[in-house]
Chains A and B, each alone.
Chain A
Amino acid sequence: MINSTKPVYDSANNRVSAIAELKELSKYRYLLGQLVRRDILTRYKRSVLGVAWTMLNPLGTMLILTFVFSNFFKTEVAHFPVYILSGLLVWNYFSQATNAAISGLVWGGSLLKRIYIPSAVFGVSAIGTALVNLIISIVPLVIVMLVDRAPFYWSLLFLPVSIVILTAFTLGFGLFISSLAVFFPDVGEMYQVLLTAWMYLTPIIYPETLISPNLLPFFKINPMYWMVKMFRLPIFEGRIPNWQELLPAFAWAVGMLVFGWIYFTSKSEEYAYRV
């Protein structure tokens, strides 16, 4: 019923879309939960092993990579499987979440043309789904550490901080790339190639010591270098990252989140026209 003369919807409002979208998103938080639930349930609903694939998938990849690469780097890195897996978890999370953000917005586009939904819901729920998968995939990491007799350090308790920073970066990047993919459909395809190149430019499956010192400064431009490091130090080396190691990751995360959010929301009124 009408209680006041204030309109429920006024097209002349919402000038600052970055802030307005945030408010809308909090109104639709139940939808966020439902979308994450849907994605987790449906991804594995018809496969026999179900959610176990979340663990088996990185484990399988890791086993192959370890088998192939341990012959090359065996002498340089002790507990090589743990080294690979700690980086691979970060990478899988990032690539899964950003890809899901793209397909989520493209799928959601068919709905955005029919009913009003805050468009950021699709990107944010994609990150939510990937976050659940990341947390589940900590189980195979623990198994590998036990099997490999790798030490468990107290510094592992720092990981929640790493997860928050990585999530902020991933969300910002996911929003940006999904927005771009709406306007240029081949961005989605190009991004797959980019991801492969990006992965090999990040020390994930090879030891950092392999990079020649002249080239190292270039590797450090890559934000994912810092993201991986932020996880690998507490898991693998047993220490909390120091300020020089944490600051680049933090700055990238905050910068990317702010940029991605503003870019995405500045376009949000166009999605219904364009998707």
Chain B
Amino acid sequence: MSDSQADLAQKFERVPYIIQLENVSVSYRLPSERIGTFKEYAIRTLQRKIKIENFWALTDISLTVKKGEVFGLIGNNGAGKSTMLKVISRVLKPTKGRVKVFGKIAPLLELGAGFHPELSGRENVFLNGALLGYSREEMETVFDDIVEFSELGQFINSPIRTYSSGMYARLGFAVATAHMPEILILDEILSVGDEAFQRKCNIRMKSFQQAGATVLMVSHGLDGLESMCDRIAWIDHGKLKNVGTPQDVISAYREEMA
């Protein structure tokens, strides 16, 4: 074991987990009907008719993800996978329980959200980088990489409204992955552009993994997950049903689905 690996192992000892969920529950408060006006709100408050139904999207989830792990989430639609990613990436605060994250997260939920059609690709790179929490300097150091990776060439100076949907997605992916994050979150997004570009995306993902990034992914492609992940969690109706090796969890999941 080299010195740096020993160092890393030592750090690993001190911080065993990069993501830790302790008894996390998330409830969406759903009024039984949507109340959109003050008048309705006032009347119903007086009549005490506002029924708020708590919908528990996640219940009592305890889970740890180790640094450098590729961790997959499976479950049916509406099981709470996306909610779990949102709790980890700080978008939603857990209703109960506690989430601790020991690294910077790159959200890759939807590509190109926040692009402005009238601005040029160049301007949007900096705007989108800022939305992801980067500074001007951080974006300047990766700007050339982004242009190269997205294969936009001279189009980088044209307004984004003139882009094809492929160009749009490529630029979004390039900006979101320009910096290697400590934790990368992938929510069914690996269908960007044509096949050649998808291959490029996969190579970048792999290089992140090899460099020690932790990857959290949600997918319906069970075969892909089985080959990529170190561990998989199965979420069913907001509860953690099973965590373990991809083979075990996926075969149990398949059995129940069959």
Contact of B127 among A34, A112, A116 (CB under 8 A): A34
- Residue interface mask B176-204, A partner, CB < 8 A = 1: 00000010000000000000000000000
In the complex, besides A41-B123, A115-B132, A117-B133, 18 extra interface pairs with C-beta distance below 8 angstroms are A1-B11, A2-B102, A5-B14, A8-B104, A9-B105, A11-B90, A11-B94, A28-B133, A31-B130, A42-B116, A45-B118, A46-B118, A112-B91, A114-B107, A115-B91, A116-B89, A116-B90, A187-B38
* Chain A minimum-CB-distance residue to B87: A11
Contact for B37 among A2, A38, A184, CB less than 8 A: A184
* B18, A114: Cβ atoms closer than 8 Å: no
A10-B100 CB under 8 A given contacts A28-B133, A30-B136, A31-B131: yes
- Also in contact, A38 and B119, with CB within 8 A (given A5-B14, A117-B131, A184-B37): yes
How many Å from the CB of B116 to the closest CB on chain A?
6
Q: Is the beta-carbon distance between B90 and A9 smaller than 8 angstroms?
A: yes
Is the CB of A238 closer than 8 A to any CB of chain B?
A: no
Given contacts A115-B131, A186-B37, contact A272 B91 (CB under 8 A): yes
Report Cα–Cα, A2/B100, bound state, in Å: 13
Q: Which of A41, A46, A190 has the most CB of B within 10 A?
A: A41
Residue of A nearest to B90 (CB): A116
For B, the interface residue count at a CB cutoff of 8 angstroms equals 47
B18 touches A2 (CB 8 A): yes
Complex contacts, B28 vs chain A, CB 8 Å: 273
Q: Which of B102, B109, B182: most chain A Cβ within 10 A?
A: B102
Min C-beta distance of A262 to chain B, whole Å: 18
Q: How many angstroms from the CA of A11 to the CA of B97 in the assembled complex? A: 8
Q: Is A12 an interface residue (CB 8 A)?
A: yes
Q: Is A27 an interface residue (CB 8 A)?
A: yes
Listed by A's residue number, 10 A-B pairs whose Cβ atoms lie within 8 Å are A2-B103, A7-B102, A11-B90, A11-B97, A28-B133, A111-B131, A116-B90, A116-B91, A116-B107, A184-B38
Question: Are B113 and A38 in contact, with the CB atoms below 8 A?
Answer: no
Contact call A273/B101, Cβ cutoff below 8 A: no
With a CB–CB cut-off of 8 A, which chain B residues contact A35? Answer: 127, 130
B91 touches A42 (CB 8 A): no
Return the CB mask of A22-47 against B: 1 if under 8 Å, else 0.
Answer: 00000110110111011001100110
Residue of B nearest to A274 (CB): B29
Q: Is the CB of A42 within 8 A of B119?
A: yes
- Please tell me if the beta carbons of A7 and B101 are within 8 angstroms of each other in the complex: yes
A41: nearest chain-B partner, CB-CB: B119
**Bound Cα distance A186, B98 (Å):** 35
Contact A5 B15, CB 8 Å, known A114-B107, A184-B37? yes
A272-B119 contact, Cβ under 8 Å, with A8-B102, A11-B98, A184-B41: no
Interface presence of A185 (CB below 8 A)? yes
Is A269 at the interface (CB under 8 A from chain B)? yes
- B141 contacts partner chain A, Cβ-Cβ < 8 Å: no
Contact between B91 and A10, CB atoms less than 8 A apart: no
Contact with A along B57-101 (1 / 0, CB 8 A): 000000000010000000000000000001101111110011111
A273 touches B113 (CB 8 A): no
What are the residues of chain A within 8 A of B153 when measuring CB–CB? Answer: none
Residues on A with beta carbons closer than 8 Å to the beta carbon of B101: 7-10
Q: How far is the CB of B178 from chain A (nearest CB, A)?
A: 15
Complex Cα gap A185–B118 (Å): 27
Contact call B14/A114, Cβ cutoff below 8 A: no
- Shortest Cβ distance from residue A273 to the other chain B in the assembled complex, whole angstroms: 6
Residues of chain A lying within 8 A (CB to CB) of residue B18: 2
> Is B165 at the interface (CB under 8 A from chain A)?
no
- Please tell me if B114 contacts chain A, counting CB pairs below 8 Å: yes
Q: Which 5 A-B pairs have the closest CB atoms?
A: A116-B90, A31-B130, A34-B130, A11-B99, A9-B101
Contact bitstring A175-190, B, C-beta under 8 A = 1, else 0: 0000000001111001
A residues in contact with B123, CB < 8 Å: 38, 41
- Closest CB-CB distance, A134 to chain B, in whole Å? 23
Mark each residue of chain A from 247 to 275: 1 if its CB lies under 8 Å from any CB of chain B, else 0: 00000000000000000000001001100
Instruction: Enumerate chain A residues within 8 angstroms of B11, measured Cβ to Cβ.
Output: 1-2
CB contact under 8 A between A111 and B114, given known A9-B90, A34-B126, A38-B119: yes
Whether A8 contacts B118 by the Cβ 8 Å rule is no
**Would you call B110 an interface residue if the criterion is a C-beta within 8 Å of the partner chain's C-beta atoms?**
yes
Task: A9 to B86: give the CA distance in the assembly, Å.
Answer: 13
- Return A212 CB to nearest CB of chain B, in Å: 33
Choose among A2, A27, A35, A46 the residue with the greatest number of B CB atoms under 10 Å from its CB. A2
- Residues of chain B within 8 A (CB-CB) of A8 are 101-105
B13 to chain A, nearest CB (A): 11
Known: A2-B15, A30-B134. A7 touches B107 (CB 8 A): no
